[in-house]
Structures are given as structure tokens and as C-alpha cells.
Amino acid sequence: MAYKTIVLEKKGYIGVLTLNRPPANSVNLAMLEEIDRVLDDLEHDKGIRVVIITGAGEKGFSAGFDVSDAANADKVGPKGQHVWTKVDQLSKPVIAAINGYAFGGGCELALACTFRLMVDSAKIGLTELNLGIIPGWGGTQRMPRIVGKTKALELILMSRRLTAAEALEIGLVDHVITPDEFMKEVFDFAASLAKRPPLAVSAVLRAVNTGLEQGLDAGTTVELEESRQVAQSKDAIEGFTAFFEKREPAFTGE
């Protein structure tokens, strides 16, 4: 399927979703609708085990909401929150490859991803209050979960734009990489994740998300359910067999 605002590539077990409205890769309603459809594709594609989200060009990951699409603001707000939550709840790890600035809704997209890898020259922040509005695509909820309540409030209320080094120091991003090595290291990280047992990876993601969203009791209930399910899988047999045979396991997701 051809898309107007994004590019989807599948490289082995890795799906690469590129926001394709350079230089800012700002998000409008059309982009949200296309990302929504792509996420359904990636969710149900058993050949894809890891997803990378990045921005076209070298300047920006995403500057967030495209203010020129203000006519659709009533639709964009709920749609943005829905789609970023869909990223958060995908059954496969999602890596934000932050190759340039990530502000506003672009930062919120990165927060919704499982991991955040950032080029060392980029900046990131929830900058909505500069416009007299607030983060509306999950930023007020995900930022505190990642960096803690007090630090999140400082970043949001002051619209701070963090350098990559500052973001790494507070745990907002997981790795900071030089431009010449950036995409290589992103793909190396994705390839390592893709070697992990897919059923167990999805089980962990579901259990962790349930616990964070619904509390310890709900999370441990899901953990027990998933533990029983994956213990009966072919991947579990392969994992134990490979252990006793002293070789690397070859997981198939069955």
C-alpha cells in the first residue's frame, strides 16, 4: 500500500516506519490515520518482531502537531491520543530512533515507544505550554512514569528542551549515539531484540503494561496467565533444548 505521509519498510524481522514530511515531520490528521493503519499491519504480521519509528531527513524526528491543520484540531486531538496509545500497547517492542528534534507530539510519540535511542545532536521536550496548551497525546501520563512526577512537571511546565546528554542523564532516553553510527546502532539493537522469543517478549510487554496501568494485582494475574501460555510453546522447548545442548536458541514464535 502506498502512503502519502509515511514510509513503511520491512527488513527481515524489523519493520521501519518513517514519518515522511520533512524537514519537521509534523503530524497532521492524514499522518495519524496512516500510522493507525500501519500499526494494524505490523501488529498482525508474524514476520515482524520489532518496529523502528524514525523521521525522514536529518533535522527532525517530529516537531509534533502541524498547526496548519488546525481545521481538523477537534479530530486530531483524540486521534493522536488513540494512535500513540496504540504504539504503547503494540505487542512488539517499538524503538524510537530520534534522529533530530522531538518536540510536543513528537516527544509524546517517543514516550509511547518501548525504547528511545537518540542522536547526540538532537533535542527533545514537551513544549506545548509555550503555546498556552498542554500535552494532549499522552505526555502528561507517560513522562511522569519515565522520569518521575517532579521532574516531569518541571519539564512540562517550563517547556524545557533537553539535549541528548540531559535526556540520557534523567532516563528519558536509553542510548545516545553519534550521527555517523546512529542508524547502524539502532538496527543492531533491533536485531538483538528480534532474536528474543517473540511470544515471551509479547507476554512481558503485556504484563508490564497491565501492571503499570491497572495495578499490581492485575499485572501479576496477567503475568501468571502469560507464564502458563509461553511454558507450553515450541519456543520454550527450543529454549530448554538449546540450553542443554549449549547452543544459541532459534526461536520461531510458536
Q: Which of 34, 43, 58, 128 is catalytic?
A: 128
> Do residues 6 and 38 make contact, with C-beta atoms less than 8 angstroms apart?
yes
What domains does the chain contain, in order, with CATH numbers?
6-194 (3.90.226.10), 198-244 (1.10.12)
The reply to whether 108 belongs to the active site is yes
pLDDT in tens, 3-54: 999 999 999 999 999 999 999 999 999 999 999 999 999 999 999 999 999 9
d(CA 152, CA 146): 8
Q: Which of 108, 181, 213, 223 is catalytic?
A: 108
- Give the model's confidence band at 146: pLDDT under 50 very low, under 70 low, under 90 confident, else very high: very high
The reply to whether 128 belongs to the active site is yes
Q: Above pLDDT 90, what percent of the chain?
A: 94
pLDDT in tens, 180-219: 999 999 999 999 999 999 999 999 999 999 999 999 999 9
pLDDT in tens, 71-111: 898 899 999 999 999 999 999 999 999 999 999 999 999 99
